[in-house]
Structure 1
C-alpha cells in the first residue's frame, strides 16, 4: 500500500496523531513523564498539547495525582478514555479503508473483519483482549468501531462493517427479521443499574421494582439524565419508563444529554447535577471512582443486559459474512468464555461481564 497516511487534527493547533500517541502512552504508563518520554516529545510540549485539547473539547482528559506514600501519577479521566477509544476506532477504520482501496485485484487482501460494537466492551478494554486472542489463534485481525447499538446497525446497513455487537433486543430482532442480520448470537451479559446521589432524595433504594424506582424519581421531580440516542442503554431506560406508565419527555427534571461520551459521560453529568441515570454495571465500576454517586437499585428482570453478536447478511450488503460468522461463533468458544469470565476479576474483585449460558 506504500506510505500513505491520513491525518486527523482537532482544530488548527492540535495534531491528532500526536494526541492519540500521548493518550495511549498515558493510559499505558500512568505517568505523564514516562508518556512524553516514550512518545518522543518534551514534557512542556506534551502538557501544552493536553491543555489545548481540553480547552477545545471543554472536558478534562487527564487527572493528576500528587506524590506521597502511594506515589504520584497521571491517568486518563472517563472522557479521556472515551476520546482515546474513539480515536483508535477511527484510526482502525481508516486503515482498513486504505487497505481495501490500495489492494490490487491480483494481491491477496489482508485477512480482517470490521466490527461495530456498543461502547461498553470497547471502553472497558474487553474487546481488545478478545480480538488479540482471535488474531493469535486464527491470524485474522478484527478491527472495531465504537458506537451505540442504533448507530452500529446503521453502519451495518451502509455496508461499513461485517458484524455488530449490540445490546438492544428489540432492535436486534427487527434487524434480523428484515434480513440484515443472519441471526443473534448471545455472547455475554451484565446488568443495568440505577445510579444517583448517595443521599437518594427520591428514595429509589426502597423501591420494589425498577419501574417503581423510576416512578419515585418522577414523583419527587428529581433530575434524571438520559442518553437520548437510541443506544441499548437508552432503549432499556425507555422500556422502564413505559413499564412505570410515565412519559418523561418534556418534563423539566428530565434531561437528554445526546452529546455526552457514552455512559462515562452520563455518570459525569449526573454527578455534576446531582441527578439519577441508568448505566450498565461495568460502566459504573470502571468509569466512576468518587463518592457522590452510588448504585441505588438493581436486580430486576427489566435490568438484564445481554450483548449479542450479529453477522451482517451478504444478501443485504457487500460484507464478509463467512468471516463474521466464524468470529461470532468463536466468541462463545471455551477460549473466549474464559477471557470474559476472568476479565476485570483481578482489578475489581469480580468480572465485568458474564459469559452467556448457552
Structure 2
C-alpha cells in the first residue's frame, strides 16, 4: 500500500515519472519484483535509462519504476524509504547519505562532464574557453542572462559552487532560478538566449531542438561522476533490497558497463563507465 500511495501522491504533485518505461505502473506497484529507482532529471532526459533498463528487465524479469527529480529530492525519497535504490551525481551528498546510515553499497557507475551552453550569438564572448570560473565572471559582467536549475540537484549545487568560487553573480533579473529539470532549463535558455550549466549528456539530447552551443568545456573541475546506492534495509524493512542489489550488480557488471559505453545517440558517447572491477551479473539473492 505504501508504494501505491507514494506513486499516487507523486502523480498528484506532478513530479516527473518515466511512465514510458513503466507499463502497468498502477497494477504492478505492489509486486515483489518491482524496483523503485530515484534518479536525476539529467540521467532521465539523456535517454540513457530508456536504453539501459529494458535490457535489465529482460534479463532479470524485474520491473523498474523510475522517479526522476533533482538529486536533493532523490536523496529525500531514499531517506524516507520511498524508493529502493538511487542513481545520482552529487558525491559529497552521496557520501553523507551513506555516512548517516541511510544508504549502503555505494558504487561508481559512470561519469561525464559539465559544460556551459549558450546561444550562437555568444554575448559574453565565451566560445572556446576552458576555465569555468573565468566564464562565469564574464557572464556576470557582460549583461547576459543565466538560467539556473534552482532545484537542489547535483548540477544546481555545482553551479552554486562555481559562482561562490568566482566571487560574483549576474545581477537582478539576469539570473533566473528556474526550479526545473535540465531539459526544461535548456529549452528556457534557448528561448531567452541565455547561458546555463548542463551535463554533456542532456545537452546532447537537446542540442537539435534548442540550437544552443557548447561555449566552455574541458575544465577539470567540471568532472561529473555518477553513483548508485541501495537504501539501507535496516532503516526501512519494507523496501525491495533484493531488487536494489540486483540492479546495482547489473549496472556495475561487465554487461551493464558495456551497454553504458555503447549508448551513443548521434554517434557521440555521452557516458563513460567507471565501475571498479565490473564482473558478470551476480545471481539473484
Larger RCO: 1 or 2 (CA < 8 Å, sep 6+):
2
Q: Distance in 2 between matches of 1:145 and 1:255?
A: 25
Q: Distance in 2 between matches of 1:228 and 1:291?
A: 20
Decide which of 81, 98, 101 is 1:159's aligned counterpart.
Answer: 81
Aligned equivalent of 1:263 = 182
Q: Residues 88, 357 of structure 1: CA spacing in aligned structure 2 closer, same or farther, 3 A cutoff? A: closer
Name whichever of 118-127 and 157-166 sits farther off: 118-127
Q: Residues 241, 92 of structure 1: CA spacing in aligned structure 2 closer, same or farther, 3 A cutoff? A: farther
Aligned equivalent of 2:168 = 246
Q: Residues 275, 92 of structure 1: CA spacing in aligned structure 2 closer, same or farther, 3 A cutoff? A: farther
C-alpha deviation, 1:89, in angstroms = 7.0
Q: Residues 208, 279 of structure 1: CA spacing in aligned structure 2 closer, same or farther, 3 A cutoff? A: closer
**Secondary structure of the residue that 1:179 maps to in structure 2?**
coil
- TM-score, with length taken from structure 1: 0.68
8 A contact 2:178–2:185 mirrored in 1: yes
**Count of residues in correspondence between the two structures:** 267
Aligned equivalent of 2:255 = 335
8 A contact 1:193–1:295 mirrored in 2: yes
8 A contact 1:205–1:213 mirrored in 2: no
Decide which of 80, 83, 97 is 1:175's aligned counterpart.
Answer: 97
C-alpha deviation, 1:130, in angstroms = 2.3
Q: Distance in 2 between matches of 1:270 and 1:194?
A: 11
C-alpha deviation, 1:310, in angstroms = 0.5
8 A contact 1:215–1:244 mirrored in 2: yes
- TM-score, with length taken from structure 2: 0.84
Decide which of 226, 243, 246 is 1:323's aligned counterpart.
Answer: 243
Q: Distance in 1 between matches of 2:248 and 2:107?
A: 7
- 1:276-355 paired onto structure 2 within 5 Å: 276-290=195-209, 292-318=211-237, 319-344=239-264, 347-355=265-273
**Secondary structure of the residue that 2:226 maps to in structure 1?**
strand
8 A contact 2:90–2:154 mirrored in 1: yes
> Which consecutive unaligned segments of at least 5 residues does structure 1 have?
1-7, 9-15, 17-56, 58-81, 101-108
> Which consecutive unaligned segments of at least 5 residues does structure 2 have?
1-7, 277-285
- What is the RMSD of the two structures over their aligned residues, measured on CA atoms? 2.8
Q: Residues 208, 147 of structure 1: CA spacing in aligned structure 2 closer, same or farther, 3 A cutoff? A: closer
8 A contact 2:33–2:243 mirrored in 1: no
Q: Distance in 1 between matches of 2:255 and 2:201?
A: 21
8 A contact 1:116–1:164 mirrored in 2: yes
Greater Rg over alpha carbons, structure: 1
Q: Residues 292, 120 of structure 1: CA spacing in aligned structure 2 closer, same or farther, 3 A cutoff? A: closer
8 A contact 2:39–2:66 mirrored in 1: yes
Q: Distance in 2 between matches of 1:208 and 1:190?
A: 16
Q: Distance in 2 between matches of 1:294 and 1:205?
A: 9
C-alpha deviation, 1:170, in angstroms = 1.7
**Secondary structure of the residue that 2:104 maps to in structure 1?**
coil
